[in-house]
């Protein structure tokens, strides 16, 4: 009989440990039909519907003309979004932005249009901030 390879033994051991882990998670009393909004953390139960600890907000803006092909960045001294592109209709949506005051930078990839920058944008916890419509020139 051939001896099992170290790779096979390691793979089987990892599979066994993963199975035990997932079985123990599925029996977690912290989450059930009666308290589906409560999640157990290392600090104790957390109510995921509780908005008192919300530390992020949202922002949306429309940018035209579409042929400017703009790329948007929302930033401050502590945080910067990735470069956002439109949904194809000029709409941009920034989700889960940490609270604070931001600057919006719009850079059109089409060289016929100029950059646009606006500061003083306040992102508040749990609030959707509508930045309106920007017409690039």
pLDDT of residue 29: 39
Question: Residue 3: is its pLDDT beyond 60?
Answer: no
Instruction: Tell me, yes or no, whether 60 and 43 share the same domain.
Output: no
Give the separation between CA 41 and CA 46, rounded to whole angstroms. 7
> Whole-structure pTM over 0.75, yes or no?
no
Instruction: Tell me, yes or no, whether 125 and 71 share the same domain.
Output: yes
Which residue range(s) make up the domain with 34? Answer: 6-47
pLDDT of residue 52: 55
Instruction: Tell me, yes or no, whether 61 and 17 share the same domain.
Output: no
CATH code assigned at 77: 2.60.40.10
Give the separation between CA 99 and CA 7, rounded to whole angstroms. 48
Instruction: Tell me, yes or no, whether 21 and 64 share the same domain.
Output: no
Give the separation between CA 40 and CA 52, rounded to whole angstroms. 17
Does residue 106 sit within a domain? yes
**pLDDT, tens only, 23-64:** 444 443 333 334 333 333 344 444 445 555 679 999 999 999
Does residue 1 sit within a domain? no
Give the separation between CA 105 and CA 118, rounded to whole angstroms. 7
Question: Residue 1: is its pLDDT beyond 80?
Answer: no
User: Total structural domains in the chain?
Assistant: 2
Instruction: Tell me, yes or no, whether 31 and 62 share the same domain.
Output: no
pLDDT of residue 88: 83
Sign of the dihedral defined by the CA atoms of residues 109, 137, 124, 102, in that order: positive
Higher pLDDT, 100 or 8: 100
């Amino acid at each position: 009989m051939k001896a099992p390879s170290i790779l096979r033994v390691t793979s089987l051991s990892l599979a066994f440990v993963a199975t035990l882990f997932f079985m123990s998670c599925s029996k977690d009393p912290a989450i059930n039909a009666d308290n589906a909004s409560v999640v157990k953390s290392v600090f104790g139960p957390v109510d995921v519907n509780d908005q008192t600890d919300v530390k992020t907000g949202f922002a949306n803006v429309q940018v035209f003309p579409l042929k400017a092909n703009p790329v948007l960045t929302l930033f401050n001294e502590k945080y910067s979004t990735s470069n956002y592109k439109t949904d194809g209709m000029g709409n941009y949506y920034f989700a889960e932005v940490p609270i604070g005051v931001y600057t919006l930078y719009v850079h059109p990839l089409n060289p016929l249009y100029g950059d646009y920058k606006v500061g003083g944008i306040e992102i508040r916890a749990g609030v959707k901030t509508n930045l309106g419509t920007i017409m690039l020139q």
